[in-house]
A and B are shown apart, each in its own frame.
Chain A
């Protein structure tokens, strides 16, 4: 019994004494606040792997200005309180230059507010929330394609395909909701009739047949040209599968979140013919020969395959882009590298070639990507196939 207490005591002591070893040169530290557990774990893990791989590459080359980069990961478990706690942990650590994440928009509002208050750069992936966008931001930058760009691109796709009436079945979470509303406002300006169904679904729903059954009469009566599955993750293939099982042959449009291999694996044959606007890494091998992004992607994919054995995807591409953007900004910092000077350098990023496109930031524009950085994709033969439509690209 006594021995057990000693063991516990020693374990406690050793836990409090464990501290990272000191490197010869003080590294630039980057805090990463991600949902490494919870529903997005797989996707954030890909992002983490991408960043780790790129940081190792930079450090192997001797770092930036002779100083290595170091990533400090914290898991926020998809919880607002923990995300905020991690954020304060990072801001307190004076060595941490900037914070990457969180991934999910529910958590971003809180961490952004902390970033603005504590004056630390916060890079955000998957920005979507209209209310978050309304906030004035000085220290937060968006990396991924925003929902506005995706919606505009989707309107272009519908116009090129001559769809006059589109029925939207959206998910009950902020990103899907805001995608649906943006699509309606942009689409109706261009003369497309958009019907947003009052039926919704949740990310954990495993069957959409009841909702789709209820929509079936509307699809037949209104003679809808296309069905927009405004969702992400597993509900996408589930909707398509159930739709086809109910004998509805209407073409299906998807969101940029359809560009993952597992979507095709889940949906199988039902996914054939689904079209969606996608990020460039999804079909990087089919890009135009003179596309500046193509060589970046080919090189990145080769290194990813060597290291992890699987093909890279768009989220891994964000890992490359984030690390590259940070490296680019650090190189341009004049004088001492502080949180403020880093932010100024980052804000002046011009023409950085990432895997997703060419990033441009300015004091008024904190969204890095634009409409030009997306392509149209169609699922054919169990693969993503780039399509080029006249007048839309």
Chain B
């Protein structure tokens, strides 16, 4: 049977993609845990992470680890600027305006990067050995394992940040109970500011880890951002482990779907999953700390 023959390979691809969606989803969750904002420019952080690393590596000729480190720093600064220049002035604005502002920021970041770095796609060298190794019938590229490691390390450090430090708790408080946070003297704006930095950092790490597998192009941010967001909603909006679970579920589902339907429909899968989960269980698989009432 053909399908059974190809399933393991599809599964392994799905897990790679799952790790990517999970990493991007974690960026969304970080901001959501500090405020109820959804940052549609999250995908652009991923794109910029890969793009700036490529630029530092090939034009300025920095060593690879240093280039990656500087790229993360630059993207974190961009994240801070995004908050200062766009989100902070609109802190009192209504939801559609915030939504449009982050979309506008996403448009600006992607087109500015097209202007600065060109629109041709760019590839980074893999971190380690080039050749894919085979396990039975499946071939796995070593970079996929790097992405998996990155996803779980990010999850672990975010877990430490939000459950073991005062800062993380303060961030969470400013989202779940804005009034209470104000009363206890937590500066909510500062918390959102920091959350944007952290989320930009996560996004750039994702970008640096996934670019060697695929490539980075100025418009690759939007779709990957949306998929990451769907992953976060699927797993449970606002939960770190939810984003990881949702990411893997979405990646595997998308990849396996190709075995049964023509691949042209592949991009619709994520959105059909999104509509279904929003209709059947808006809380997501693991439940959400922010969505408690029957309507939201």
Asked whether any CB of A lies within 8 Å of a CB of B in the complex, the reply is yes
**Assembly CA distance A172 to B2 (angstroms):** 25
Is A214 within 8 A of B13, CB to CB? no
0/1 interface trace, chain B 172-215, chain A, CB 8 Å (1 if under): 00000000000000000000000000000000000000000111
Q: List 6 interface pairs A-B (beta carbons < 8 Å), by A numbering.
A: A42-B118, A202-B267, A204-B219, A210-B255, A233-B121, A247-B134
Q: Which residues of B contact A (CB under 8 A)?
A: 2, 5-6, 9-10, 13, 17, 111, 114, 118-123, 130, 132, 134, 139, 141, 213-215, 217, 219-220, 223, 254-255, 258-259, 262-264, 266-267
Is A234 within 8 A of B262, CB to CB? no
Q: How far is the CB of B258 from chain A (nearest CB, A)?
A: 4
Contact of A209 among B9, B120, B130 (CB under 8 A): B9
Is B10 within 8 A of A210, CB to CB? yes
**Assembly CA distance A254 to B139 (angstroms):** 24
Contact of B17 among A207, A211, A213, A268 (CB under 8 A): A207
Q: How far is the CB of B74 from chain A (nearest CB, A)?
A: 22
From A14-22, A33-41, A381-389, the one touching the partner chain is A33-41
Across-interface contacts of B119 in A (CB, < 8 A): 39-43
Is A266 within 8 A of B223, CB to CB? no
Chain B CB within 8 A of A67 CB:
no
Chain B CB within 8 A of A198 CB:
yes
Contact of B13 among A198, A201, A209 (CB under 8 A): A209
0/1 interface trace, chain A 187-216, chain B, CB 8 Å (1 if under): 000000000001111101011011101101
Across-interface contacts of A201 in B (CB, < 8 A): 263
With A206-B214, A206-B220, A234-B215 given, is the CB distance from A213 to B13 under 8 Å?
A: yes
Across-interface contacts of B259 in A (CB, < 8 A): 210, 214
Across-interface contacts of B132 in A (CB, < 8 A): 245
Across-interface contacts of A202 in B (CB, < 8 A): 267
Is B264 within 8 A of A204, CB to CB? no
Q: Considering the complex, give the chain A residue whose CB is closest to the CB of B123.
A: A266
How many CB-defined contacts (below 8 Å) exist between A and B?
A: 84
Q: Which residues of A contact B (CB under 8 A)?
A: 37, 39-43, 172, 198-202, 204, 206-207, 209-211, 213-214, 216-217, 233-234, 238, 245-247, 262, 265-266, 268-269
User: Top 6 nearest A-B pairs by Cβ distance?
Assistant: A210-B258, A206-B214, A42-B119, A41-B119, A234-B121, A209-B13
Is B258 within 8 A of A214, CB to CB? yes
Q: How far is the CB of B218 from chain A (nearest CB, A)?
A: 8
Across-interface contacts of B254 in A (CB, < 8 A): 210
Is B118 within 8 A of A211, CB to CB? no
Q: How far is the CB of B179 from chain A (nearest CB, A)?
A: 34
Is A206 within 8 A of B114, CB to CB? no
Is B10 within 8 A of A213, CB to CB? yes
**Assembly CA distance A269 to B131 (angstroms):** 11
**Assembly CA distance A234 to B5 (angstroms):** 29
With A214-B259, A262-B121 given, is the CB distance from A238 to B6 under 8 Å?
A: no
Is B114 within 8 A of A214, CB to CB? no
Highest count of chain B CB atoms <10 Å: which of A37, A209, A233: A209
**Assembly CA distance A266 to B132 (angstroms):** 17
Q: Considering the complex, give the chain B residue whose CB is closest to the CB of A245.
A: B132
Is B215 within 8 A of A206, CB to CB? yes
Is B13 within 8 A of A207, CB to CB? yes
